[in-house]
A and B are shown apart, each in its own frame.
Chain A
């Protein structure tokens, strides 16, 4: 059941443009071990800006 709720939470966050932070950390650790990753809040802000600053806009009619 916890898997289900984790996925539900992940879905809800991705719906508003927030991918999972843990995956980002894992990616940075694996591919860029020398670079300092963004902290959780900076990552949140980065995604928040990205969602609304392109011609995509992420919304439909």
Chain B
């Protein structure tokens, strides 16, 4: 009897999916996607997550968690599961689930929707949940340590080095999104710049005036933010201040690099912590508002379910549906980076083992819901506007007329007047070729929010609110990520040179910070100067690396299941592992070896190198130096792909070896912390 409501829910979800999959030729409502996703997620949570908890992991509510047996009131604190859910969700959700689905919309809304729904249920949420479980049974250790414990020291070091490389790529691609959103936008630039003095004032407030009052200082900061958005319009319009806040992408790139280096060396209370408050609360608030807004507005989807770009040749990113859709939407469907979070603070705060499905599996479902909303946002826009914003300038030319012409030629009729009018509505000079996903999402959010509050007069305000919200938490991630990358690097170099470890002295910290900033700065600069807009090149590399980390985390989970002697359930992790390996290995190989220069790095490098030796300058390069830079960048990117492939293939070897060794044993060989029971209260 208790199953009846769930069966009904499953039928509703299936019906919505059937409608989505079959309706052609007419616009359907976005709520079909939302309802399909939500009912699938609830059913998956009720049955699949609990199946994994009870039969695969055999969670035991009486077994003490690290929060109990190591409890210290600081790092290890038994926490209410609802409170911990919020903490974990805030840590995993960032720009990834917002940007990937927006980019994926170039193939229509259907492929992205299906991949997010299926991917999270079978792969993403399983990975987060498994890693949380593994870490929770091992004192809350981190991913690198877990791989080392279960698969050996060499595997652990390879995983750690891979994680650092991924961090570098993530920081570069996030910074690139900010550059693309703020370039030539004095209004956006002013509001984001205003957050720095605002954060400094907030830092001073929590340091000297009212220490520890997070709520108060956040409200003050929020008022300041709104004032900055309102006042930004006047700043942008002013003949004196407007040009002062107008930067080219290249200038912004250098600003961000110097900012990243400075910010990660400053004391955390001064800039990072207060901005963290603003960005975290704004992020949660904006995501909630977006969900409410979509339900109230119930917009129709104007993007077709499938576009002609499923075969490849799309303007936002190159490559066909398989394998590139599955790496373009990483966060939201499955994100390897979450393995670092699920083995971070969360396992140290879990109060009972039986809370793990809600937190590990549940929070990831929530992130997939965010990704679904981003996909809906991109799909409610006029496809003409979508492609005018997301195609590189090399395709569109630079003004509204040439862009409207190019997009209409793609098969998405749009008038130059509409492009000009849309830019005016959101208070920008132009929306042509605002790649990176963030501006597109901001236009969609402005559409939704202004429908609910303020009407079209408020569109410009909501657009800049959305840009601020995205830029703010991306910048916070860039600072925090640079710091984290610095510590990762110190750990790594510390393996060879022990005096380089964190806490030994000041100099290694500065050197490691410099190395970290230089690494992501290199890829950022490459992306900014890339005539195809950079996102085109960097996002696939990011997607491949992120999915490869996910494959590594799932391989670790498989090893643990074998060593627990639970190999008959190993399909739970083997199925998503195999899928991710197929996607990432084929995408990585294509990026490396494809003979199509728009896809393969080496083919592109060869094309330009041949031209260089023939003394020709190929568009979009304008000089011989640019030609050589393109060749060099392509080869660096190809080298990076080789490194990622090496990480994954070598860890595959370690996984197979460890699983076979575990099969030969007749008893469990896992290195869990011995079970202790929670004393009865």
The residues of A with any CB-CB pair to B shorter than 8 Å are: 7, 9-20, 23-28, 31, 40-41, 43-61
**12 CB < 8 A contacts A-B:** A11-B86, A12-B86, A27-B73, A40-B211, A48-B269, A49-B268, A52-B272, A53-B483, A57-B480, A59-B481, A60-B96, A60-B340
Check A53 against B215 for contact (C-beta < 8 Å).
no
**Residues of the B chain whose Cβ atoms lie less than 8 Å from the Cβ of A53:** 268, 483, 487, 502
A55-B491, A56-B345 as given contacts; A11 in contact with B83, CB under 8 Å: yes
CB of B375 to closest CB in A, whole Å? 17
Check B337 against A14 for contact (C-beta < 8 Å).
no
Which of B91, B95, B341 is the most central at the interface, judged by chain A CB atoms within 10 Å of its CB?
A: B91
A44-B211, A45-B269, A61-B546 as given contacts; A15 in contact with B86, CB under 8 Å: yes
Check A19 against B477 for contact (C-beta < 8 Å).
no
The residues of B with any CB-CB pair to A shorter than 8 Å are: 71-75, 77, 79-80, 82-84, 86-87, 90-96, 142, 170, 174, 206, 211-212, 214-215, 268-269, 272-273, 276-277, 280-281, 284, 331, 335, 337-338, 340-341, 344-345, 349, 476-477, 480-481, 483-485, 487-488, 491, 502, 542, 546
CB of B166 to closest CB in A, whole Å? 9
A14-B83, A16-B276, A50-B74 as given contacts; A60 in contact with B269, CB under 8 Å: no
**Residues of the B chain whose Cβ atoms lie less than 8 Å from the Cβ of A59:** 91, 94, 476-477, 480-481, 484
**Residues of the B chain whose Cβ atoms lie less than 8 Å from the Cβ of A23:** 73, 77
- The CA of A60 and the CA of B276, in the complex, are separated in Å by 13
A7-B82, A56-B340 as given contacts; A26 in contact with B487, CB under 8 Å: no
3 shortest interchain CB distances as A-B pairs:
A57-B484, A24-B73, A27-B73
A24-B73, A28-B73 as given contacts; A56 in contact with B484, CB under 8 Å: yes
CB of A56 to closest CB in B, whole Å? 4
**Residues of the A chain whose Cβ atoms lie less than 8 Å from the Cβ of B96:** 60-61
Partner pick for B487 among A12, A24, A54, CB 8 A cutoff: A54
**Residues of the A chain whose Cβ atoms lie less than 8 Å from the Cβ of B90:** 15
Check A52 against B481 for contact (C-beta < 8 Å).
no
- The CA of A27 and the CA of B71, in the complex, are separated in Å by 8
**Residues of the B chain whose Cβ atoms lie less than 8 Å from the Cβ of A51:** 268, 273, 276
Q: Please give me the residue from chain A that is nearest to B277 by CB atom.
A: A16
**Residues of the B chain whose Cβ atoms lie less than 8 Å from the Cβ of A50:** 74-75
Check A12 against B214 for contact (C-beta < 8 Å).
yes
**Residues of the A chain whose Cβ atoms lie less than 8 Å from the Cβ of B206:** 44
Check A60 against B337 for contact (C-beta < 8 Å).
yes
CB of A60 to closest CB in B, whole Å? 5
Partner pick for A61 among B77, B170, B476, CB 8 A cutoff: B170
- The CA of A10 and the CA of B477, in the complex, are separated in Å by 23
**Residues of the A chain whose Cβ atoms lie less than 8 Å from the Cβ of B487:** 53-55, 57
Check B214 against A60 for contact (C-beta < 8 Å).
no
CB of A7 to closest CB in B, whole Å? 6
A56-B142, A58-B480, A59-B94 as given contacts; A14 in contact with B268, CB under 8 Å: no
